[in-house]
Amino acid sequence: MSARGCSNYRCRMATTDPVPDALDPKEATAHTEASNSRAGDGLDLGDTDFDFASRGLVAQHPTGIIDGPLGPAWDIGHYGFITQGSDAPATVNPSLWRQAQLNQHHGLFQVDEGLWQVRGYDISNVTFIEGETGWVIIDPLTTAATAAAALELANTHLGERPVKAVIYTHSHSDHYGGVLGVTSPEAVAAGEVDIIAPDGFLKEVTSEFIVAGQAMGERAFYQFGILLPKGPKGQVDAGLGMGIPISYSDLIAPTIDISATGEERVVDGVRIIFQNTPDAEAKAEMMFFFPDKGWLCTAENCTHTMHNLIPFRGAQARNSLAWSKYISEALQMWGGEATLMFASHHWPRWGNDVVIDFLERQRDLYRWMHDQTMRLAGRGLVAAEIAEELELPAAFLEQSHTRGYYGSLPHNVKAIYQYYLSWYDANPAHLWSHPPTEAGRRYVEFMGGADELLAKARASFDDGDYRWVCEVVNHLVFADPDNHEARALQADALEQLGYQSESATWRNAYLAGAGELRSGGHPPIPRRRGLLAAVSLEQTIDAMGVRLLSDRVVGLRSTVNLTLSDTGERGVLGLSNHALNLVPDDHNSNADCTVTMSKETLDDVVLGETDVEAALGQMIIEGDVAALRSILDNLDHHDDGFRIVLP
């Protein structure tokens, strides 16, 4: 790729030099020890969660190590430092340590007669329901490796059954990415297996994980602490589960879309009533009830944590008011009948009274955050001010499932503000701020230079004011990324904030930032984006469009008729005014050329997995091939990742 392809400094992934003698994590400071001691005082959330998390264990994976194409996809032994009943180390918030102990319960669990879950070998759960002739599977995990291991565990201990249906509860990859571990495209195409998903599922997969996938994937390393060592000074949990498996995600397109709340289907003899919940935890999501059993599946709308309204990996802001109302709707429809609730993460809850109390608190949590944020916004407070003003009431602090292990109140407040009022706080001083490097240079100069800034920042560190240290030293790091003293100090401050965090995602982000500052960045991570194969021509062109090198197509115009030989889809692909566009289901008689190719060839071109010359040899082209090349020769395939806390 030419330098013009991406002139922004963050697009160049070459790591900078590590900070000498500063790679190892530090101990907790006295300020952090005191903070965590205060967090543990009076932390009495009861034993019910532990009883529920361990209930019904049938068997565990024989080794806890699940192999994948990149090496071990999962190794439960990495979390052996978390022992049941132990006190939190000084470097871990006691409340988060408790959540990690709960998430550590792993194996095949019987939830009810005919209902089992495999938990603890992925961040998400996979649920197995005994149908009339085979398995009905809910959410086949993140990767084929972990999903296949879970299916084998179920078949080994419960009797082997064919897979008859797979239900995706929503459009996040930890709930569909392992589908090739439980079935195949051939079985689905033959009608042997149904794939059931909420309305709009493929559209939202495309938006989040294909169009935004490159940026989102890099940010996810921070959210989940994927590159952090496991241990009391590193990654201990991910809030929703222990962590993310190291392998690839794939996708088979749904064969059945659930389009309306109240829709009822019989899936391999199992009666299910669905509730669509778009714009809650995911843009496309559904909960559902089993009326003959009294089971309620809450997908990821209700789990054992306050969820986030914008994940750190990035996404569109979620609608907390709608989220609350969907939970209320589920209570109205099924609250009187539900004797069991289970979700796509964490452990189930049993008993009608228990289920109702759980749902009511979850409902009220999202409504309280929404209403109080907008109340204060109406008084003129901006997002950062509201986040400092609001504190969780005791009704939420006294239950673990309404505490912030994955989401958190401060960043959820900011998400609600963004949802209604955008990123802009209406202060024109913030309308056109300088980018980080330029702002850093100016701040350092105003503060009297690097030495003066560092001296004051060290004093703030000694006072335990780690938030301020991170904010002020960040300017020096961006002004001079080779200043090792600045990087080391900011890393130390981020680390202490991580040690103090109740939220696993906050801890992971802080510690990942410290690691990048000390090491200088990480090498490229092997990636495979196997999701394009399952989406439409239009969605594939959306992915192509965000790869167009705009400055290399100045003045170029072309019109290309496309036909996909294997799917039968067609459309008119256009290049004009530095942008791509597609008219689906049409051909233009005045097009510059007409091209027939397979969907696989198109996917390879979009992802840069084949060069243009090789791809052209797999196409049938009528007309001016230069019109096609004006597009294909100008796609950006820079997939090496980027730094975040370093310029």
- List Cα–Cα distances, 74 to 28, 61, 79, in angstroms: 29, 11, 11
Report the side by side order of strands in the sheet with 579-584. 579-584, 570-576, 558-564, 593-597, 620-623
pLDDT in tens, 210-264: 777 778 888 888 899 998 999 999 999 999 999 999 999 999 999 999 999 999 9
Say what the pLDDT of residue 13 is.
46
520: left (phi over 0), alpha (psi -120 to 50) or beta: left
Angle between helices 484-500 and 504-519 (to 10 degrees): 160
Quick one: DSSP state of residue 79? G
Is the alpha carbon torsion for 363, 177, 152, 272 positive or negative?
positive
- Segment 386-393 mean pLDDT: 97
The tokens for 548 are 């167009």
Element (H, E) at 340: strand 340-342
- List Cα–Cα distances, 263 to 176, 266, 276, 497, in angstroms: 22, 10, 9, 47
Closest to 17 in 3D by CA, of 357, 358, 484: 484
Say what the pLDDT of residue 556 is.
94
Q: Rounded to a whole number, what is the distance in angstroms from the first to the last CA of the chain?
A: 20
- Segment 37-59 mean pLDDT: 94
Q: Report whether 196 contacts 268 (CB < 8 A).
A: no
Q: In terms of C-beta density within 10 A (0-12 exposed, 13-18 middle, 19 or more buried), how is residue 85 classed?
A: exposed
46: pLDDT strictly greater than 90: no
pLDDT in tens, 294-311: 999 999 999 999 999 999
6: pLDDT strictly greater than 50: no
From the CB of residue 100, how many other CB atoms can be counted at a distance below 10 Å?
23
Q: Which residues pair with 571 in a beta bridge?
A: 562, 584
Instruction: Compute the mean pLDDT over every residue in the chain, rounded to the nearest whole number.
Output: 93
529: pLDDT strictly greater than 60: no
More reliable by pLDDT, 252 or 638: 252
Which spans in 402-503 are helix H?
Answer: 409-421, 436-446, 450-462, 466-479, 484-500
Place of tokens 């802080």: 510
Say what the pLDDT of residue 637 is.
83
Q: For 147-251, where are the E strands, in sequence order?
A: 163-167, 194-198
9: pLDDT strictly greater than 50: no
Which band of pLDDT confidence, cut at 50, 70 and 90, is reported for residue 640?
A: low
Q: Report whether 167 contacts 197 (CB < 8 A).
A: yes
Q: Are strands 107-112 and 126-130 parallel, antiparallel or unpaired?
A: unpaired
- Segment 357-375 mean pLDDT: 97
Alpha carbons 615 and 605: distance in angstroms, whole number? 7
Give how far the C-alpha of residue 258 lies from the chain's centroid of Cα atoms, to the nearest Å: 23
Looking at 65-79, 199-213, 468-482, which range is the least confident one? 199-213
- The dihedrals phi and psi of 461, each to the nearest 5 degrees, come to -60, -45
Which band of pLDDT confidence, cut at 50, 70 and 90, is reported for residue 527?
A: low
pLDDT in tens, 585-628: 999 999 999 999 999 999 999 988 888 999 999 999 999 999 99
Closest to 586 in 3D by CA, of 560, 607, 565: 560
Element (H, E) at 573: strand 570-576
12: pLDDT strictly greater than 50: no
Which band of pLDDT confidence, cut at 50, 70 and 90, is reported for residue 195?
A: very high
pLDDT in tens, 87-140: 999 999 999 999 999 999 999 999 999 999 999 999 999 999 999 999 999 999
pLDDT in tens, 538-569: 999 998 999 999 999 999 999 999 999 999 99
356: pLDDT strictly greater than 90: yes
**Residues of 526-560 as b/e, b for ≥16 C-beta within 10 angstroms?**
eeebebbebbbbebbbbbbbbbbbeebbeeeebbb
Closest to 147 in 3D by CA, of 184, 113, 111: 184
- Domains of the chain from N-terminus onward: 47-420 (3.60.15.30), 433-519 (1.25.40.880), 532-632 (3.30.1050.10)
Which band of pLDDT confidence, cut at 50, 70 and 90, is reported for residue 379?
A: very high
* Residue 353 amino acid letter: D
Say what the pLDDT of residue 215 is.
82
Alpha carbons 570 and 564: distance in angstroms, whole number? 6
Say what the pLDDT of residue 189 is.
96
Radius of gyration of the chain (CA): 26
Q: Collapsing DSSP states into helix, strand and coil, what is residue 439?
A: helix
Please state, for a pLDDT cut of 70, what percent of the chain lies above it.
96
Which band of pLDDT confidence, cut at 50, 70 and 90, is reported for residue 15?
A: low
**Residues of 195-218 as b/e, b for ≥16 C-beta within 10 angstroms?**
bbbbbbbbbbbbbbbbbbbbebbb
- Segment 501-520 mean pLDDT: 95
Is the alpha carbon torsion for 217, 219, 223, 224 positive or negative?
positive
Q: Collapsing DSSP states into helix, strand and coil, what is residue 575?
A: strand
Say what the pLDDT of residue 221 is.
87
